[in-house]
Every structure is written in structure tokens, then in C-alpha cells.
Amino acid sequence: MFDHFYHQIFRRTVIGFGTLFNGVTIKRDGGEIIKVPLAYGPTQKFLARLEQQPDLNKPVQISLPRMSFEFTGVSYDTSRKLASTQAYAVVSKDDRTDIKKMYFPVPYNMSFELSIMALLNDDALQIVEQILPYFQPNFNLSIDLVESIGEKRDIPITLESVSFEDNYDGDYTSRRVLLYTLKFTAKTFLFGPVPEASKDVITRVSVGLAGGDPSPEAKRDLIYKSPTATKAYNGNVITNLDVDISDKDTVIAVNDSTNIPVRSYITIDDETLYVKSKTNNDLTVTRGMYNTRANEHVGGAGVLLITAADNDSIQAGDDFGFSG
């Protein structure tokens, strides 16, 4: 614990935030297009400089308008909390065969303030109008948080508030400063140290209903199949067979398929079937599920739907979905 590591996540987020506003321009009446300077630092620093050096409002664009931004705080975000003990497999960016186990990141919110300072109201409004439409109220910024494992995530930048000040100093003819302050929150993640390569990393985890087949692609699988009923214990008859079917038919006709969802399980007599798709009242099914036998069934036989309520009625001798 507390071994040195530094992913530069705060630094990368600050740089990414500043980059969003690095290309703002204004257009004067004569057609002149001016790029608005952007710097990192508190607003008070730039306002003090304007007062101490009044010649900055000469026709040199280093004065006004200009923008500054500042990282003002960080706080833990409980609404995005993930289980601290859960982990997932990652692959080294340099060595694609080097698989490591990485714990889930910790969610933190970073607070920013963007200040827009201008002499002319039209300049300030041009800048504000070029920024606000992109935040509704979020704008996703893609940041490479942990470069060594290629962990790139979309960080939502949320516009929290916009405030405005029109300051006059001295007499009526004295220069004023128009100041817009935009407050933002960046919802980022902090990662712990990247562990050394692990020789016992689970390469794939599957979660599904009993009866599904795992993919053979991964070399080592951990498969959990949710306990589920393998027959309709509660006698939930929702429709009937329209015509007789043989033990080979994979398309069966029912009187009404409205209440039969696709990718559900049904029971006819002692056979359980999986509904892959349906067209009108014709169901395309997989026969003999859960080790039941595909049999012939006569028209008018009841079609029962297996629901979550049947899980509470699992009878002794059922395999609880853990077979295989």
C-alpha cells in the first residue's frame, strides 16, 4: 500500500478542459477576426493587472477581451460509486499479451471556473454565445486517463451556472470591465496503481440464464448462470397451440402470441421450448430445452410461459440452472 504511482489524471483533465476553449474568436465590425487569449489563473490576478497597468487597453490584443480558467476544487461523487473490491482485466498498451487485474476506479468531481473579461459588451456576448450551445448541460470530453493500459474514457463536463458582472471604477468616463463567470464540473475517475502482470487472470466472465451456451473463444471462463425455473410451475397458460406439431417442427403456430416475449421460455405438456423470434402468431423455437424431450403435441394444448414467479416454486430435483 502507498507505493508511488502517478497517472497525471488531474493534470490531464485540467489540460483537456482548457483545450475546449483554446480556439474561441471574435469578429469586429470591420471584418477583423481576433483570437481570444486563454490563460490559467484566478480572475483576480488579471483584473489586478489591468488596474496596475492601465495602458493594457491600448490597441494590443493581449489586454481585453481575454479568458482565464482555474481548477477550484475536488469532491467525491457518491452517485457514481462502484464496488471497491471488484476488478476487471486490462491489457498493457505496449505488450498486448500482458494481462493485468485492475480495480474499479474511484469517482471524483473536479470544479472549474472559466472567466470571460471584455471591454465591449458585443465582444463578451460573442464569446459566451460560442460556448453555451455545446453544454446541454453536458459535453463529453475524451481523455486518456491511464496511458500505460490505454484507459480512455469520456468525461462529462457539466455547466453548472453562468454569472455576470458589469463593473465601473471611478467616474462616468472610466473604463469598465465586463466579467462573465462560468462554473463547470468534470466527472472524472481516479485509478490506483497498475499491478504487475498476473498469471491467473480470468479472461471472460459471462452472466446469463440457465440453458445458454458459453462462447468457446476465451481460454479460461468463469460462468455464472442465474438460478431460474425450468418449467412453468404455476400453470400460467397464456395461449394454445393452433395446430398439431411434430417433434421436429421448429416453427409452431399459436392462437395468440401477444403475451409471449422473444427470448423467453415456454412449456407445452412436459417439453420446455425457447422462443427465438416470432412473426405474427408463428413462433420460431428451440426444442427440448433443460434436458426435456421434444415430443409431438396436439392442437389446442396449453402453452405456459415461464416467468420470474416460477423461480419461487422450484421443486426438489431441479438443477437450479447450474448444470454444466
In the block, residue with C-alpha cell 452472466: 207
Check: CB of residue 230 under 8 Å from CB of residue 319: yes
117 and 251 part of one domain? no
For residue 321, pLDDT beyond 60: no
Question: What is the identity of the amino acid at 309?
Answer: A
Within-domain flag for 178: yes
Given this model, what pLDDT does residue 210 score? 47
Q: How many domains does the chain have?
A: 2
For residue 298, pLDDT beyond 90: yes
Within-domain flag for 229: no
Q: What are the residue ranges of helices labelled H in the chain?
A: 9-20, 43-52, 121-131
- Strand-by-strand arrangement of the 271-279 sheet: 237-240, 302-305, 264-268, 271-279, 282-289, 251-253
29 and 163 part of one domain? yes
pLDDT interval class at 323 (50, 70, 90): very low
Cell of 51: 488596474
Question: Which domain-ending residue is among 190, 220, 252?
Answer: 190
Question: Which domain-ending residue is among 157, 173, 190?
Answer: 190
Task: Give this prediction's pTM.
Answer: 0.54
Instruction: State yes or no: cis peptide before 137, omega within 30 of 0.
Output: yes
267 and 165 part of one domain? no
Cα-based distances in Å from 180 to 67, 163, 168, 243, 311:
9, 6, 15, 74, 60
256 and 151 part of one domain? no
166 and 257 part of one domain? no
Percent of the chain with pLDDT over 70: 73
Q: Which of 3-7, 99-103, 292-296 is predicted with the least confidence, judged by mean pLDDT?
A: 99-103
117 and 256 part of one domain? no
C-alpha to C-alpha distance for 93 and 126, rounded to whole angstroms? 42
Within-domain flag for 48: yes
Better-scored residue on pLDDT, 169 or 319: 169
**What does the pLDDT look like over 149-163, one tens digit per residue?**
778 889 999 999 999
54 and 138 part of one domain? yes
Within-domain flag for 47: yes
**What does the pLDDT look like over 223-267, one tens digit per residue?**
444 456 777 777 778 999 999 999 999 999 999 999 899 988 999
Given this model, what pLDDT does residue 83 score? 73
268 and 161 part of one domain? no
Within-domain flag for 285: yes
**What does the pLDDT look like over 72-124, one tens digit per residue?**
999 999 988 877 667 777 676 666 566 777 778 899 999 999 999 888 888 99
C-alpha to C-alpha distance for 93 and 145, rounded to whole angstroms? 13
Given this model, what pLDDT does residue 319 score? 40
Cell of 15: 489540460
Comparing CA positions, the residue from 6, 210, 256, 22 lying closest to residue 130 is 22
Whole-number mean pLDDT of the chain?
79
100 and 186 part of one domain? yes
113 and 38 part of one domain? yes
Within-domain flag for 255: yes
Backbone torsions φ then ψ of 20, nearest 5 degrees: -60, -35
67 and 162 part of one domain? yes
CA geometry: angle 103, 107, 110, nearest 5 deg: 140
Question: What number of residues does the chain have?
Answer: 324
pLDDT interval class at 2 (50, 70, 90): low
Question: Which domain-ending residue is among 124, 155, 190?
Answer: 190
Give the domain CATH number at 67.
Answer: 3.30.2000.40
Instruction: State yes or no: cis peptide before 261, omega within 30 of 0.
Output: no
Within-domain flag for 134: yes
Cell of 281: 402468431
C-alpha neighbours within 13 Å on the C-beta side of residue 78: 0
242 and 185 part of one domain? no
**What does the pLDDT look like over 186-232, one tens digit per residue?**
999 998 887 765 544 444 555 454 444 444 454 444 444 445 677 77
Percent of the chain with pLDDT over 90: 36
Q: How many CB atoms lie within 10 A of CB 274?
A: 20
Within-domain flag for 202: no
Given this model, what pLDDT does residue 137 score? 85
Given this model, what pLDDT does residue 233 score? 73
For residue 265, what are the domain limits? 237-313
